[in-house]
Amino acid sequence: QVQLVESGGGLVQAGGSLRLSCAASGRTLRSYAVGWFRQATGKEREFVVAISWNGGSTDFADSVKGRFTIYRDNAKNMVYLQMNSLKPEDTAVYYCATMTYFLSRQGDYWGQGTQVTVSS
């Protein structure tokens, strides 16, 4: 079983940037597609973006297209989420998760999450 730990969250002003990291242990991430999801207070968790096992394909939610980028370093067992042009509505707890099926927009193994707060 793989364990995931997110980091890099924080408080940023609207228009700013953050980079989130997802570190894996226990098993190589190379076997998995990986996705980022988020959950705002009082709302259901939603899909943000996913990357295929080799980084060759990505899938973005419409709300973040053109602003967020995902990439991975399988040698380091890491996946990253670069978030630019942040908006207050991006405020949420962000989770990374392994995905059995790349385009499923559903996670299997989850991290604990990292808080992102965007002030207006």
| 31: its two tokens | 């076997």
Q: What is the pLDDT of residue 28?
A: 87
Q: What is the pLDDT of residue 110?
A: 97
Helices (H) and strands (E) in the chain, counts: 0, 10
Give the integer Cα–Cα distance in Å for 94 and 34.
13
Contact 94, 81 (CB under 8 A): yes
Identity of residue 50: A
| 111: its two tokens | 């991290």
DSSP string, 98-112: EESSTTS---SSB--
Other beta carbons less than 10 A from residue 13's beta carbon: 10
User: For the segment 11-69, what is each residue's pLDDT rounded down to a tens digit?
Assistant: 999 999 999 999 999 888 888 999 999 999 999 999 999 999 999 999 999 999 999 99
Question: How much is the average pLDDT of 79-100?
Answer: 97
Q: What is the pLDDT of residue 81?
A: 98
User: For the segment 40-50, what is each residue's pLDDT rounded down to a tens digit?
Assistant: 999 999 999 99
Higher pLDDT, 109 or 27: 109
